């Protein structure tokens, strides 16, 4: 799905106004599902939730990976929990990167599984129980901020600085999964990814704290600097990837956008290769897009990995250290 233009910051108008009654119905349905559902399960280990309040990508997965790496360096074993969006497997099951593909478990699950044990299930409590039995010390949820089946120890809300919270309305009148004020009341911190281009900081006054970070190319990006490339991406905001390439100094000669979680056909890859050859360039894509490609489709396609750079490294470490030293208790 591509977000409609009227969802963007400063937009809305008549279309959003006409859809507002449906937003009320959406909120009522979500509230009823929450109140009528079973009580959340209290895991015996800490649970960190990396979520967002808007539909589409905000940078949750890079943040989840960064926090898992920090936990690992502190001597504990994190396990990831994810819904497996776009996959056919309902779970709960542990992702096997050698046996599962994106059609089965989704792209995010495959990226996460390359870093730490990863469990897929729409029922986060069910996968959390299996992860605990398998020896997890900390559970890191990639998404699930609006999922109440599992009690969270630490909830972090990720906001894309370039997109913000859009027009500030709840779906379908806007991009919000729930009213921003409700989300901020459950978050221990908001993580703003990239510069605030939409004035979002002014709407985060209810947040206990706001932390700033940016997405940066991985250490292997240097090999791409002297080469011309055609970039392609099917993520929440492809332009973020293209901007990252330009900022990193990669010679971007063309770019092609696809819908989020797009599954590429052989014909589309043939067209991309032809486009690149016509420009005497190579092809480059994101890690999420790369894991959605079949092994035969990956030939001659480079991958730019990314990481998170924090404005204040001490602040994020101070936030997660209590998970390890026992100051924060599970549930």
- Of 57 and 148, the structure prediction assigns the larger pLDDT to 148
Predicted local distance difference test score (pLDDT) of residue 248: 84
CA nearest neighbour of 288 among 156, 106, 148, 149: 106
Predicted local distance difference test score (pLDDT) of residue 201: 83
Indicate the average pLDDT of the chain: 93
Adjacent-strand bridge partners of 50: 142, 156
**Dihedral sign from CA coordinates of 302, 191, 183, 204:** negative
pLDDT in tens, 227-276: 899 999 999 889 989 999 998 889 999 999 999 999 999 999 999 999 99
Could you tell me the domains of the chain? Answer: 47-215+309-325 (3.40.50.300), 219-304 (3.40.50)
Average pLDDT over residues 295-318: 94
Query: What is the DSSP annotation of 82-123?
Result: E--TT-S--S-EE--TTT--HHHH-HHHHHHHTTS-EEE-SS
Angle between the N-to-C axes of helices 60-73 and 313-325, in degrees from 0 to 180, rounded to the nearest 10: 60
Q: What is the pTM of this model?
A: 0.93
CA nearest neighbour of 102 among 299, 287, 270, 230: 287
- Of 53 and 201, the structure prediction assigns the larger pLDDT to 53
Quickly tell me which residue has 């100094």 as its tokens.
249
CA nearest neighbour of 215 among 195, 236, 189: 195
Predicted local distance difference test score (pLDDT) of residue 54: 94
Average pLDDT over residues 159-176: 94
**Contacts of residue 195, Cβ cutoff 8 Å, sequence gap at least 6:** 161, 162
Average pLDDT over residues 47-61: 91
């Amino acid at each position: 799905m591509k977000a409609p233009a009227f969802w963007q910051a400063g937009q809305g108008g008549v279309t959003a106004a006409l859809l507002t009654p449906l937003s009320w119905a959406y909120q009522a349905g979500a509230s009823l599902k929450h109140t009528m559902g079973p009580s959340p399960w209290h895991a015996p280990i800490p649970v960190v939730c990396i979520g967002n309040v808007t539909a589409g990508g905000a940078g949750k997965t890079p943040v989840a990976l960064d926090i898992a790496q920090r936990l690992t360096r502190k001597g504990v074993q994190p396990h990831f929990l994810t819904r497996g969006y776009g996959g056919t497997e309902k779970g709960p099951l542990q992702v096997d990167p050698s046996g599962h593909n994106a059609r089965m478990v989704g792209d995010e699950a495959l990226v996460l599984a390359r870093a730490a044990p990863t469990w897929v299930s729409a029922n986060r409590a069910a996968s959390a129980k299996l992860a605990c039995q398998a020896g997890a010390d900390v559970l890191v949820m990639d998404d699930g901020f609006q999922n109440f089946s599992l009690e969270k120890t630490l909830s972090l809300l990720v906001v894309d600085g370039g997109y913000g919270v859009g027009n500030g309305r709840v779906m379908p009148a806007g991009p919000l999964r729930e009213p921003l004020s409700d989300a901020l009341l459950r978050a221990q911190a908001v993580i703003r990814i990239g510069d605030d281009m939409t004035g979002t900081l002014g709407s985060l006054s209810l947040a206990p704290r706001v932390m700033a970070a940016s997405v940066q190319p991985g250490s292997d990006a240097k090999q791409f600097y002297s080469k011309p490339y055609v970039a392609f991406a099917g993520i929440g905001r492809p332009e973020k990837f293209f901007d990252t390439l330009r900022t990193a100094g990669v010679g971007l000669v063309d770019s092609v956008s696809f819908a989020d979680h797009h599954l590429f056909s052989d014909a589309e890859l043939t067209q991309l290769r032809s486009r690149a050859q016509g420009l005497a360039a190579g092809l480059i894509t994101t890690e999420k897009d790369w894991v959605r490609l079949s092994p035969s489709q990956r030939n001659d396609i480079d991958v730019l990995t990314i990481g998170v750079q924090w404005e204040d490294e001490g602040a994020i470490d101070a936030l997660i250290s209590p998970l390890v030293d026992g100051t924060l208790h599970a549930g």
